[in-house]
Amino acid sequence: MAELQDDEDIGPSELDRTFIFEDEGHTLGSLITYVLESFPETDFCAYSIRHPSENKMYLRLKVKEGNTVEDVFKHGIQELNKMLNHVKKTFKKSISAYEENTSTA
Amino acid sequence: MNNPIIMNKYSIERTLGNEVKPYNYDEFVKNFKVNIINLSETDMEFDLIGVDVALANSLRRVIISEVPSMAIEKVHIYQNTSYVLDEILAHRLGLIPLKADPRQFKMKEDENSEPNEHDSLVYDMKIKCTKKDLDALAHKQYISFPGMILFLSNILIYINDEQLTFIVYSKHIKWSPLGNQKDIFTEKSVGMINDDILIAKLRPGQEIELKMYAVKGIPKDHAKFQSVCTAWYRMMPNIKLLDDIKGNDALLLQSCFPKGVIGLKSYKGVLVAHVEDCRKENSSRNVFRYKQFDNKILLSKIPDHFIFTIESIGAMEPSSIFFEAINIIIKKVNNALEIALNQTEV
């Protein structure tokens, strides 16, 4: 399988990796990229779907010196988990508040 | 995040922030809000405030293509002498929405395994159009009310001079419980959502006898598994009047927007326009047609305020669909971590 040009030249390292996710697409890609690229430790983060018939999502993460890709990625997932759980909690609260309002009115 | 998207006459002006703000959980918690605008059994409109497009779009994508539901997957055709071909009939049956709550079922692991009470629902349909009944009926009805629609033992018969047809509707499909399903479900809780979906038409002597198996699936595989008619979002519009607009211009301005967007107030006998409700604005940009409004109105969109709408088919409440979607995303994200860690170890 074709790898990114840079991967062939330099090869994956502690600071730069391309992850491959099968059966995933923009749903996961844009969400992870959004969180990862906003970290100060991240040098570069982007995802691509190379070909529509190839059901894979490539996510490249490059981090600044002194960090490892693995740690930054883990941190990103933790933040995402926190964020999604907060969305869930807030939504639940709003729904019950709305139902209470309409039942009393 | 607070830079609005400005709508000009022929273009959209997007002032992106010069630097990416680091994502901060505490700030997210501070800014994030959900306002429920309306909520009914099938429809729901709510505001997601303080989120990035990435999250709003992921939610929309998951709701449309990954939230599972139940649909007829296999049809055993014992008899079909109608004009509708077997494969077309089977396809039509698959698209009928079912009331069954997908959360009460498991995904079928092996496609060819025997259906059981945890992963399948079975429906039957047996219908025959007999000439004798129709003849008697037609004769009787033709004399009294020619060309009339009447009901006979739950089967709608349409009489059009000499043409007689049984119309087979989704209400003729009957649920038959598997195992202990009889104790858990009722015909109403797993049957058809709509009773009046046309399946086929029968001429005298034709009959259909079927057994249908419904399973749980995701809409990525087939659109029949969709639990929403559709789900979408739009950004909150914002209208700013940069100058006073009075008199006839105020009336003209009001006519440029949908009803209720622009309000009029009378000051000393002169009408003055003011913005009443931005939500109803639909980005028609009609104001730009008139010279007198040049540089007087600023139309924009708030990029982190999403008006989200979910239209459920009826099997699940729209709020439950949203929770299902969030849970699927959480699962996806954690799954991604596992995959990524496996890849770094190699």
pLDDT digits (tens, 9 = 90+) for B170-198: 999 999 999 889 999 998 899 999 999 99
B79 lies within 8 A of chain A by CB: no
A88 and B326: CB-CB below 8 Å?
yes
Q: What is the mean pLDDT of residues B137-147?
A: 53
Give B1-7+25-67+227-237+302-346's CATH code, choosing from 1.10.287.980, 3.40.50.2000, 3.30.70.1280, 3.30.1360.10: 3.30.1360.10
pLDDT at A10 over 60: no
Q: Indicate the helix (H) or strand (E) that contains B263.
A: strand B262-267
Residue tagged 């540089």 (tokens)? B295
- pLDDT tens readout for residues B25-73: 888 899 999 999 999 999 999 999 998 889 999 999 999 999 999 999 9
Confidence of residue B94 (pLDDT cuts 50, 70, 90): very high
B333 and A88: CB-CB below 8 Å?
no
- pLDDT tens readout for residues B219-278: 999 999 999 999 999 999 999 999 999 889 999 999 999 999 999 999 888 999 999 999
Distance CA B166, CA B156 (A): 6
Phi, psi of B223 (to 5 degrees): -65, -20
Which residue of chain A comes nearest to B62, CA vs CA? A27
Q: What is the mean pLDDT of residues B94-113?
A: 92
Residue type, B205: G
Phi, psi of B213 (to 5 degrees): -120, 120
**Which residue of B21, B34, B61 is in closest CB contact with A38?**
B21
- A30–chain B nearest CA distance, Å: 6
Beta bridge partners of B46: B36, B308
Distance CA B203, CA B289 (A): 59
A75 lies within 8 A of chain B by CB: no
Q: Which of B54, B58, B47, B48 is nearest to B20 (CA)?
A: B54
Residue tagged 């979002």 (tokens)? B233
- pLDDT tens readout for residues B282-329: 888 899 999 989 889 999 998 889 999 999 999 999 999 999 999 999
Q: Which of A35, A71, A102 is nearest to B21 (CA)?
A: A35
Cβ neighbours for A103, distance < 8 A, ≥ 6 positions apart: none
Domain boundaries, chain B: 1-7+25-67+227-237+302-346, 69-129+165-225
Mean pLDDT of chain B: 86
- A76–chain B nearest CA distance, Å: 9
The highest-level CATH class for domain B69-129+165-225 is mainly beta
A74 lies within 8 A of chain B by CB: yes
B143 lies within 8 A of chain A by CB: no
Cβ neighbours for B167, distance < 8 A, ≥ 6 positions apart: B155, B156, B157, B158, B198, B201, B202
- 3-state DSSP assignment of residue B53: helix
A31 and B329: CB-CB below 8 Å?
yes
- pLDDT tens readout for residues A65-104: 989 999 999 999 999 999 999 999 999 999 999 999 888 7
| Structure-token pair, residue B121 | 């629902």
Task: For residue B28, list chain A residues with Cβ-Cβ distance below 8 A.
Answer: 83, 86
Task: For residue B51, list chain A residues with Cβ-Cβ distance below 8 A.
Answer: 87
Pure H helices in B153-216: 181-184, 187-190
Phi, psi of B75 (to 5 degrees): -125, 120
- 3-state DSSP assignment of residue B280: helix
- 3-state DSSP assignment of residue B345: helix
